[in-house]
Amino acid sequence: MIKKFGDVIMIRLGDTESNIYLIDDVAIDAGTGLNFSRMRDLLGVAKKKLSDVKLVVNTHCHFDHCGGNGFFIDAKIAIHKDDAAVLEKGDVKLAAADWFNGNMKPRPVDQKLKDGDIIKAGPLTLQVIHVPGHTAGSICLYDKKNKLLFTGDTIFENGVGRIDFANSLPDQFEASINKIATLPVKTYYPGHGKQFDAVQFKKVLSMAVDPDDLPV
């Protein structure tokens, strides 16, 4: 599947794959890497080549988001510093690669991100929002001008991300949800599933967090 939302191209290679978002020469997440020919063909539909991507930003270290980093042979890899070691060590367990019958090879990380870092992606200016919970180094990417939020596996159209993985931080997850709830957002681009708006976000938020704990 491939869809275009203004400056954002969304590619989904299969049911177990993360969404891959392309903005100019930047990719947000990369899928599992198990569907190379489909990835190449869908990029061709968008009149792009794998070599056009110069930076891959992983929203976290799970295999369905970072296993495909190797697709982009000319790209640098960026991930939050608290998840970087999983890629650098090729940690199959913490990447949950075995869930996908996949394997992780050690791979260098070019940019170890932290909260507040800025990434230029074509016309978008993306701010790194550290949201520990799903993993220790989970991030969202926020474009303030256009009110867009790329949420990774922190929040979806119909729920929130799991926090029962070996590298999850469940005690920090509610604070992370509240953190993104303070952001003015028009459109949410999740790591899986469909895009959604602020009305739907409030519905998900009401189910996920104790109303007494929501930011005013």
Domain total in the chain: 1
Q: What is the model's pLDDT at position 215?
A: 37
Helix axis angle, 170-181 to 198-208, nearest 10°: 150
Q: What is the model's pLDDT at position 16?
A: 87
Would you say the C-alpha torsion 6, 7, 12, 17 has a positive or negative sign?
negative
List of residues 6+ apart from 69 with CB closer than 8 A: 30, 33, 56, 58, 75, 77, 87, 107
Q: What is the model's pLDDT at position 216?
A: 32
d(CA 114, CA 79): 9
pLDDT in tens for each of the 216 residues of the chain? 999 999 999 999 988 899 999 999 999 999 999 988 899 999 899 899 999 999 999 999 999 999 999 999 999 999 999 999 999 999 999 999 999 988 999 999 999 999 999 999 999 999 999 999 999 999 999 999 999 999 999 999 999 999 999 999 999 999 999 999 999 999 999 999 999 999 999 999 887 655 444 333
Burial pattern 27-66, b for ≥16 Cβ within 10 A else e, equals bbbbbbbbbeebbeebbeeeebebebbebbbbbbbbbbbb
Give the pair of three-digit tokens for residue 186: 């028009």
d(CA 113, CA 4): 27
Burial pattern 96-126, b for ≥16 Cβ within 10 A else e, equals bbeebebebeeeebebbbeeebebebeebeb
Q: What is the model's pLDDT at position 132?
A: 98
Structural domain span for residue 140? 2-213
Q: What is the model's pLDDT at position 214?
A: 37
d(CA 18, CA 32): 8
d(CA 64, CA 191): 10
Contact between 72 and 30 under an 8 Å Cβ cutoff? The reply is yes
Query: What CATH number did the domain enclosing 15 receive?
Result: 3.60.15.10
d(CA 41, CA 48): 9
Q: What is the model's pLDDT at position 15?
A: 86
